[in-house]
Amino acid sequence: MPAPTISHVILTAALIAVVFTVQVFYFYVVDNVWAEMTRRELKELTDYVADTVANLYFLVNATNTNPTLTKTLRLPIDVSGSSYTLQVTYDQGNNAKTVRSSLKDKSWLDATSWLPPGLKVDTSKTQTVESSARTVVAGCQRVASNIQIWIAYEG
């Protein structure tokens, strides 16, 4: 009679192994879905900032004067429960390239949106902001023949 007992032990062990294996794969899938959702939220954020900067650029470029335009950005306090950073990236010639956002605690989770060509970065102003309750503005101004942009805290 040991054969039915061993069969039950084998079946019970197999069921326990399947339950643990399914849990591991479930958490893996949930983590991947969370990361993809967060990446999309960051992409929406960078698209919003890049579009705002592009609109300011088109307004400044449409005038014959040298105005300084700023727009208050409506940014969320956090993305998927984590704080984030926003930054305008630029090269050695201060040519603005992209708007990049990433989570502070998971810097590998980021998103990038391109800026229109021909923009310069005003290096005298902050180009990186962190999520907080502080007000953030995007700005654009013509200086000589260049159009400079920035993102910074208001005030």
pLDDT in tens, the chain (155 residues): 566 777 888 888 888 988 888 888 888 888 889 999 999 999 999 999 999 999 999 999 888 888 899 999 999 999 988 999 999 999 998 899 999 999 998 889 999 999 999 899 988 887 889 988 889 999 999 888 889 999 999 87
Positive or negative: CA dihedral 26, 31, 36, 41: positive
What's the whole-model pTM score? Answer: 0.83
Q: How many domains does the chain contain in total?
A: 1
According to DSSP, the residues that pair with 146 across neighbouring strands are 143
What is the span of the domain harbouring residue 52? Answer: 2-153
Positive or negative: CA dihedral 122, 52, 116, 106: positive
According to DSSP, the residues that pair with 95 across neighbouring strands are 120
Sheet with 128-130, edge to edge strand ranges: 110-114, 96-103, 84-90, 128-130
Residues in the chain: 155
